Amino acid sequence: MSVTERKFGELRTGEEVRLFHLENASGAYAEVLDYGALLVKVCVPDKNGSLVDVVLGYDDLESYEKNGCFFGAVIGRSGNRIEGGKFLLDGQEVILAKNENENNLHSGPDGFEKKMWKVEEIAEEKNSLTLYRISPDGENGFPGEFRIAVKYELTDNNELKITYQGVSNKTTVANLTNHSYFNLSGEGSGDVLGQYLTIHGKYYTPVRDSQSIPTGVYEEVKGTPMDFTREKTIGADIDADFQQLLYTGGYDHNYVTDNYAKGNVRLIASAYSPVTGIAMDVVSDCPGVQFYAGNFIQNEKGKNGHIYEKRHGFCLETQVEPNAVNVEAFHSPVIDAGEVYHSVTGYRFYVKK
């Protein structure tokens, strides 16, 4: 096990960006930048023992400075959408930056994925890297000075564990996630429609229209194209004549995951590529997961000269429900001043026989 680092590039501001390489005993590795705490590579063995990079991304820093698709991004303070870019907190209206229609998406422009992070700890014995930043009071409108740390740990059983921990000096919203796009056939291999997916969620949160704000209720997936409770290919129903899929151009919905209880890390989803034999289990303590099938990727110049197009990767973003801060029936993303925010998500890779 080892953690090494090297220079990745320089920002337009002249700041140096470092790349951290986490490698386990099997030779599998993950790479992370201190810019945005971005996950730029996950290389795991396929059925032939060859290492395959299973996340979409870029080879150069300039592309990550733009990164309109949020490849590999740590999203904060709040993943997904907040309707109207506002909410009530302790009886006061909080106004956020609006960056998608009239809504706040992934916390607004220049979120956590566009900030420099600092190294808190490199633990060789755990094969882990912890990065932190202090989000100032009022950043993108969010109240409170929020100190947040993200730990990446690559275990010897090829699980990439991401742990978020933070505390604010004011009541605020905290709902962090990772926006990596996976392609278990390898980045740049084409679309993911033939890859298999299971989501352990009997309910999802339907959206009102193409702006993707939930209606505020749960609906059963059973009997609809939204049902992934039994393994099926991502492409099996993605183009079905079903209003929810028409609104969003394919899957881009939050699933309410089974057996949620605060702090309960359990299996919430699994995916598999018959091409490489690579499978992935997703475990988390979050109540929901956004399944996004990469419907809006278009002509992205990615790693190794590859061009990424529509549905060339999929996201499984662990979270509370979109717009939860405005919907009493959803799980609350609000934390009190001094309360410790803590969340864990793991992506475990293996070869499926």
Residues identified as active-site: 179, 317
Q: What is the DSSP string of 231-280?
A: -EETTSSTT-S-HHHHHHTS-EEEEE-TT--TT--EEEEEEE-TTT-EEE
343 labelled ligand-binding: no
d(CA 97, CA 244): 27
Q: What is the dihedral of CA 218, 224, 228, 234, to 10 degrees?
A: -120
Would you tell me how many other CB atoms lie within 10 Å of the CB of residue 139? 21
Distances (CA, A) of 171 to 147, 154, 167, 174, 339: 13, 33, 10, 10, 9
Distances (CA, A) of 251 to 20, 38, 87, 204, 304: 33, 24, 27, 11, 27
230 labelled ligand-binding: no
181 labelled ligand-binding: yes
Query: If we measure between CA atoms, which residue out of 36, 70, 96 comes closest to residue 323?
Result: 96
Yes or no: say if 71 and 179 are a contact pair by the CB < 8 Å rule.
yes
> Strand pairing partners for 203?
220, 256
Distances (CA, A) of 1 to 6, 28, 42, 194, 281: 17, 10, 15, 34, 22
Phi and psi at residue 67, in whole multiples of 5°? 45, 55
Yes or no: say if 147 and 167 are a contact pair by the CB < 8 Å rule.
yes
180 labelled ligand-binding: yes
Sequence ranges of the binding site: 80-81, 179-181, 252
Binding residues for beta-D-galactose: 80-81, 179-181, 252
